[in-house]
Amino acid sequence: MVTIKRSIRINDKIRVPQVRLVGPEGNQLGVVPIQKALEIANQYELDLVEVAAQASPPVCRIIDFSKFKYDQEKKEREAKKHQHQVHIKEIRLKPNIDDHDYQVKLRQAIGFLKKKDKVKVSLFFRGRQMEHMDLGKKILDRFIVDTHNDGQIEKDTSLEGRIMSFVIAPK
């Protein structure tokens, strides 16, 4: 169950001397003392709910709180459905990668970027390959040039132990 993120004050929890009151049909009832607002809400057998606490004076509506809470949760669920989460996908390379294998990895990276995911390109060195870091740097530079139409560098090339990597974000 989704909960309302901000706390909403209702009925006796509202601690201000006056409120701007909105009736159950949405009509303005003006600025009234809090006690009068609570009495009007009791007459309708509904709740007094603070809908705009930052206003001066705060705006309160006379509504059924459980229905209001349900509608708020429904709006939050709908908003969450339409969000796109950005994932970081990783492409792993080696300094002695063949041209065809490189093209496959490049197509994968471009596919991830088109789906609006970030791509971390990691180049792994093993053993004596550490002596030829310039070969790995050339491969990564070539990868950057080949993906410049679909993405931009978010984090520059860095060497961490035996792994040289960078991150590309979609354009």
pLDDT at residue 164 above 80?
Answer: yes
Whether residue 92 sits in one domain with residue 157: yes
Provide the residue range defining the domain that includes 69: 11-81
Q: How many domains does the chain have?
A: 2
69-104 pLDDT, tens per residue?
888 889 888 888 877 777 899 999 999 999 999 999
Whether residue 77 sits in one domain with residue 138: no
pLDDT at residue 12 above 80?
Answer: no
- Sequence-distant (6+) residues with CB within 8 A of 46 are 24, 62, 63, 64, 65
How far apart (Å, rounded) are the C-alpha atoms in residues 48 and 105?
A: 60
How far apart (Å, rounded) are the C-alpha atoms in residues 105 and 99?
A: 10
pLDDT value of residue 167 = 94
Phi, psi for 140 (deg, rounded to 5): -65, -40
Residue 27 included in any domain: yes
Q: Give the global pTM.
A: 0.54
Residue 32 included in any domain: yes
Q: 158 is written with which tokens?
A: 């860095």
